């Protein structure tokens, strides 16, 4: 069982109470969850707890929106031909479909164009613009693309083709020359929310046009399509993105759009509640398969279908393409794993670089993600063809793969990306050099901690506290996704029984108990844990809480993401350390309940130990290492010495936080103090 770093974020009880009072939040758990997600201000809290269309910002707050609306309005009025130019991913498909449907409903002469992933690649292309102009286009409106299309914008101008750019990607130096450039990430754009997906920007254009044309009542149905692209593009599900998805999920299972309905049906998503996971794992991959494995225009044709007779065959073809994609993905994954594990040098390498001929360009990015998840190492997967290698990189938290690639940029024909993902192309003969140089870079810039899986723990719960009511309280914060991650809770329990599930016995079902109540826990693809779990073994699990419905009965369960064996002492120590941050008075009472009292000598020993560590540059100490640093012989003595940290903090001598199962400290003001001036010290000292 691999070590997993658990991350905690304790909160000050006083700050939680103030937050609840300010925003009128009755449930303290909900308040704490919002605080951990950095939700502030009346608008932010309202978007989370009561998201509705009234929360949308004025679309004319986007720079150049007025210019875009004026040009499109003129084109519609003059019956000019408008072409929507999109991207071949889900964001691009939904952006194109949404804007097309709206403009068609207003009587516009409108068509669309999506480039071929393999033949043309991403973005605007001069050849495509020339073809569109020959076919009578007067105005091209880009969606989810175009912000870096400087040469192509010049080409459009020379062709007499007007261009309106709408995009959400990062800007480079300058902007393309166009009638309008609508992008919340423009440096000169003061729009309050910068994280819209491409389809979100397209919807804001529809919103602005609807305002100009006299009414917004009929546009909210398009949020169902916008929600699919928003979730699939993995943008933060906060602010306007949260409104888009939350409002759409109210009606999506009874959608007005035949194409979306057909897609929901073939993906088996009509059962249960709509969730971001449903979109991300069922709808998104099928739409993406259109662009990855064939013609992305099928995705648009699906949404433009006017009846189920037209839509269903398209949805079924996408479902079949997705199965082909899954099969090809699995084949490449198996080949990549074989290459990785067949090279003994990879055991010591911090970055995995794997290249092979015959790999499908459309799926290697997905496989790179799976490799990174499997080995918790950055991975670069390259498809080799005719002496050239091109592919995708994925990274781990804390290590910028973009900066790493920048350090070897001389090897590439082209590359680009961001901290967690990138793409590149280079000569196949340079792959070995790439592998060696990147790993030399990683030895300097990557810490061992970066190579460990990490999980954020919302809170620690008693097993007896987990019930349907609790799960329903948590569900108030749905939809979960980036920026609003589904909360994972830590639960200490005893394994009452364990069994393997699934056709291949790859999943694990645990019955967890606490001496009274029992609860079911499921760990998908973790069947190997069974050999390490003994009967009645004390464990600490971290997982997401859900409601299991079976044959008319409902019960709470935990979907386990991490499991650690824990002695009672370890569990108690971690709980005590968190108590020192969240409620030190309660920590004092726990110390007294143990029959432990604080003496001046204990505080002196702890302070001198901190000074020694600080001189060595050590300011982060794992909980289990304090015994060694303090030279203690009894485990129980560790509790009172850790309590000294709370005393020192009260006296403004030391600041400390509980990090990843460790205490981080820093000295405050150097001054002489009297321990008796500490209320905490007096609580535990007065009875000694």
Check residue 394 and give its pLDDT. 94
**Would residue 136 count as lying in a domain?**
yes
CATH code, domain carrying 422: 3.10.310.30
Same-domain pairing of 76 and 174 = yes
The whole-model pTM stands at 0.79
Range of the domain at 408: 343-451
Same-domain pairing of 66 and 206 = yes
323 touches 350 (CB < 8 A): no
Same-domain pairing of 471 and 401 = no
The answer, yes or no, to whether the previous bond of 163 is cis (omega within 30 of 0) is no
pLDDT tens sequence across 392-429: 999 998 899 989 999 999 999 877 777 888 888 899 99
Name 112's bridge partners. Answer: 84
Domain's final residue, options 399, 416, 451? 451
Same-domain pairing of 410 and 482 = no
Check residue 293 and give its pLDDT. 67
DSSP tag of 548? E
Check residue 628 and give its pLDDT. 79
Instruction: Return the closest-CA partner of residue 451 out of 333, 348, 523, 364.
Output: 348
**Would residue 6 count as lying in a domain?**
no
Same-domain pairing of 628 and 508 = no
Determine the length of the chain.
688
CATH code, domain carrying 511: 2.40.50.460
Same-domain pairing of 414 and 513 = no
Count: domains in the chain: 4
Q: Which residue's entry shows tokens 């592919």?
A: 391
Check residue 294 and give its pLDDT. 65
Check residue 567 and give its pLDDT. 63
Domain's final residue, options 451, 484, 509? 451
- The full DSSP string for 96-160 is HHHHHHHHHHTT-EEEEE---TTTT-SS--HHHHHHHHHTT--EEEESS--TT-HHHHHHHHHTT
Same-domain pairing of 66 and 132 = yes
Same-domain pairing of 528 and 622 = no
Check residue 564 and give its pLDDT. 83
Max Cα–Cα distance, the chain, nearest Å: 92
Domain's final residue, options 417, 433, 451? 451
pLDDT tens sequence across 635-679: 668 888 999 999 999 999 999 887 656 788 999 877 888 999 999
Same-domain pairing of 87 and 104 = yes
**Would residue 323 count as lying in a domain?**
no
**Would residue 368 count as lying in a domain?**
yes
Instruction: List, for the chain, all residue ranges whose pLDDT scores fall below the cut of 50.
Output: 688
**Would residue 1 count as lying in a domain?**
no
Same-domain pairing of 367 and 475 = no
């Amino acid at each position: 069982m691999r070590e997993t770093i658990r991350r905690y974020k304790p909160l000050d009880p006083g700050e939680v109470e103030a937050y609840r009072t300010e925003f009128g939040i009755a449930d303290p758990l909900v308040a704490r969850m919002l605080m951990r997600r950095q939700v502030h201000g009346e608008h932010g809290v309202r978007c989370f707890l009561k998201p509705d269309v009234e929360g949308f910002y004025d679309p004319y707050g986007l720079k150049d929106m007025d210019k875009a609306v004026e040009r499109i309005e003129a084109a519609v009025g003059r019956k000019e031909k408008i072409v929507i130019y999109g991207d071949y991913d889900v964001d691009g498909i939904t952006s194109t479909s949404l804007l097309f449907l709206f403009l068609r409903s207003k009587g516009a002469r409108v068509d669309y164009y999506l480039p071929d992933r393999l033949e043309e690649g991403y973005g605007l292309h001069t050849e495509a613009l020339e073809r569109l102009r020959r076919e009578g286009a007067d105005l091209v409106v880009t969606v989810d693309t175009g912000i870096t299309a400087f040469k192509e914008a010049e080409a459009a101008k020379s062709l007499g083709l007007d261009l309106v750019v709408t995009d959400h990607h990062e800007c480079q130096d300058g902007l393309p020359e166009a009638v309008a450039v609508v992008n919340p990430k423009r440096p000169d754009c003061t729009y309050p929310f910068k994280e819209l997906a491409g389809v979100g920007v397209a919807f804001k254009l529809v919103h602005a046009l609807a305002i100009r044309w006299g009414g917004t009542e009929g546009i909210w149905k398009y949020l169902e399509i916008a929600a699919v692209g928003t979730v699939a593009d993995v943008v933060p599900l906060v602010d306007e993105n949260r409104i888009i998805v939350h409002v759409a999920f109210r009606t999506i299972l009874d959608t007005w759009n035949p194409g979306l309905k057909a897609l929901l049906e073939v993906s088996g998503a009509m059962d249960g509640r709509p969730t971001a996971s449903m979109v991300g794992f069922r709808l998104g991959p099928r739409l993406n398969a259109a662009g990855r494995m064939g013609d992305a225009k099928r995705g648009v044709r699906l949404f433009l279908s006017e009846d189920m007779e037209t839509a269903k065959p398209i949805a079924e073809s996408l479902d079949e393409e997705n199965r082909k994609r899954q099969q090809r993905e699995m084949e490449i994954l198996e080949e990549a794993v074989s290459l990785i594990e067949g090279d003994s040098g990879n055991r010591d390498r911090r970055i995995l670089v794997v290249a092979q001929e015959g790999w499908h360009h459309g799926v290697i990015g997905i496989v790179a993600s799976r490799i990174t998840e499997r080995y918790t190492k950055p991975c670069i997967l390259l498809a080799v063809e005719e002496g050239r290698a091109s592919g995708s990189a994925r990274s781990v938290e804390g290590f910028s793969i973009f900066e790493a690639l920048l350090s070897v940029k001389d090897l590439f024909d082209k590359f680009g990306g961001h901290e967690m993902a990138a793409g590149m192309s280079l000569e196949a003969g340079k792959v070995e050099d790439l592998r060696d140089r990147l790993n030399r870079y990683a030895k300097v810039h990557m810490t061992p901690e970066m190579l460990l899986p990490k999980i954020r723990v919302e809170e620690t719960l008693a097993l007896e506290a987990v019930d349907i009511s609790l799960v329903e309280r948590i569900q108030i914060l749905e939809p979960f996704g980036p920026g609003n991650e589904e909360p994972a809770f830590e639960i200490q329990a005893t394994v009452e029984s364990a069994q393997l599930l699934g056709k291949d016995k790859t999943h694990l079902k645990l019955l967890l108990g606490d001496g009274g109540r029992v609860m079911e826990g499921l760990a998908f693809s973790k069947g190997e844990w069974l050999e390490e779990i003994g009967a009645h073994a004390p464990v600490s699990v971290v997982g997401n809480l859900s409601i299991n419905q079976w044959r008319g009965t409902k019960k709470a369960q935990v979907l386990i993401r991490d499991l650690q064996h824990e002695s009672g002492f370890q569990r108690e120590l971690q709980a005590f350390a968190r108590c020192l941050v969240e409620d030190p008075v309660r920590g004092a009472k726990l110390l007294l309940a143990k029959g432990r009292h604080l003496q001046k000598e204990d505080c002196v020993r702890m302070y001198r130990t901190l000074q020694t560590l600080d001189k060595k540059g050590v300011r982060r100490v794992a909980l289990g290492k304090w015994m060694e640093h303090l030279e203690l012989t009894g485990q129980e003595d560790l509790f009172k010495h850790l309590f000294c940290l709370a005393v020192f903090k009260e006296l403004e001598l030391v600041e400390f936080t509980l990090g990843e199962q460790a205490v981080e400290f820093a000295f405050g003001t150097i001054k002489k103090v009297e321990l008796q001036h500490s209320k905490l010290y007096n609580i535990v000292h007065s009875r000694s």
